[in-house]
Structure 1
């Protein structure tokens, strides 16, 4: 073999010398200047929307279509939250901006159960519906017990059982009519009548409502056959929705009570928002809460001229009058048409059975 072992040794030595020479030249060479690239013509770049480079490795074959994948991780925190919720799969800057807006819109202090915002695409110029021609329809807020549903006494039985469980007494419950009162107001009235002070009531108040909700469901299961909507309710709800009216609740029930009673007669899904007894124990303070939630749901500020409250007690009428709203009384509870008119109702009807008459009354304001 030509060269032999000594030839290979000499070649190895030459290679080492060349490497050392290159290292010396590199140490004494002038440093390389990295020049910043001039900005290119066109729209400004958005670094918060630039996708991160995909790391090397096997492709993610199991990912579903529309999965945000790695591109959503390159967004700012608010945009990332929106992207992960909206299925932003990467590509369009517009989707990233929409996701960022969605992330900001979700910061909402309103009560969790009825948090809502204006639908996508809604014009930012908000509408005021106050009876002018071409306005966005009317807002109709319904009471529950005696107005929408005959509940067969499930609420009274559940409150009695929960009060015995938490406080050891239901108070003089047989002597107190519940009509038009909020649930917290009922409980405090009964306990004060029993001689308990506020210092004795307060510690058990938060424990009372989970006990009430559990007992209410049990009472509904036992009496479901006897619970029913009041006459004409499904028809009037259909007619109002067909006309473009916005439906909501204004009730003294806490949310769990309202949902349980209306779900039992398949009406809960008809009302996307409401004001409840757990929002404020004073019923007269509930209308502004309902109007604010109507605005968050529809984007429309409803004025007094296009907002109606429908209820069956003088408390409903007093509540509406305190906020300057129109009120339709229905004699489906303990009070007659004359009682409701004397209490100050704009209109009063025997029931909601006559759909045409109800719609005419609501159009009279």
Structure 2
């Protein structure tokens, strides 16, 4: 793991997990319920609306499912869901709970000459609002790559946001490292040819990452920080 981190010229962070816990004060299951309700209230006559709603507490899975239904894309339901989720994420961002050592790691990576980017399935607006609250937004200027609010929806494990990050940081894939907390992050990194480091805040997350084939997993970013700067006072 030390070699993996020391060799990285650019570090690509997933957002919800490695940088913060976005829905700490606004449970994602409640957001998923509100999205379902809003869709049924506003689009009860849309073809196929009632049949697609998945039984999940993950709002992103509802969004993904919506864009897999051509009727919902044509009717505008899918895009309405994306906009509603963006509003929820932006409102949640100021109250998001910072991941331990994330801010210190971000600043230390920049101080040691690394390029940084965010590669996330969340909205760019939410990421920007959170980073502004931590005064680290300038360290990611022009390199926040979230889901698009226009056109095709391309969520991880699609490598689209990682490929955009490699372009914005002007970094070859072999010189980049992604830090993510889900199997879809690992799959996207593999597809982009980028090395991967898993962050697992609990045993379930670690089991999921290990089960997906992650070779390197940490339960605290402190371990990463101390590799980047052994003199860090943590």
Same fold? TM cut 0.5 = yes
SS across alignment from 2:12: strand
Aligned counterparts of 2:31 and 2:154: Cα–Cα separation in 1? 18
| Of 230, 234, 241, the match for 2:110 | 241
Name the CA distance, whole Å, in 2 between partners of 1:171 and 1:140: 36
Residues 1:313 and 1:217: Cα distance change in structure 2 (over 3 Å) = closer
> 1:119-141 CA deviation, whole Å, 9 max, x = no partner?
xxxxxxxxxxxx9xxx9x70100
Q: Unmatched 5+ residue regions in structure 1?
A: 1-130, 296-301, 361-365
Partner of 1:311: 180
Q: How does the TM-score come out when normalised to structure 2?
A: 0.71
Under a length normalisation based on structure 1, what TM-score does the superposition of the two structures give?
A: 0.48
Distance 1:158 1:345, change over 3 A: same
Please identify the structure whose Cα radius of gyration is greater: 1
State the aligned residue count.
206
RCO higher in structure (CA 8 A, sep ≥6): 2
Cα 1:186–1:270 change in 2 (3 A) is: farther
SS at match of 1:309: strand
SS of 1:252 mapped into structure 2: strand
**What is the RMSD computed on CA atoms of the aligned residues?**
3.3
Partner residue, 1:277: 147
- Secondary structure of the residue that 1:145 maps to in structure 2? coil
| Alpha-carbon distance, 1:211 to partner | 3.3
In 2, the alpha carbon distance for the partners of 1:249 and 1:162 equals 25
Partner residue in 2 for 1:209: 82
Q: 1:236 to 1:267 in 2, by over 3 A?
A: same
Residue in structure 2 matching 1:251, options 98, 106, 120: 120
Which one has a larger percent strand, Structure 1 or Structure 2? Answer: 2
Supply the distance in 2 between the matched residues of 1:204 and 1:358 (Cα, whole angstroms).
47
Structure 2: distance between partners of 1:334 and 1:187: 27
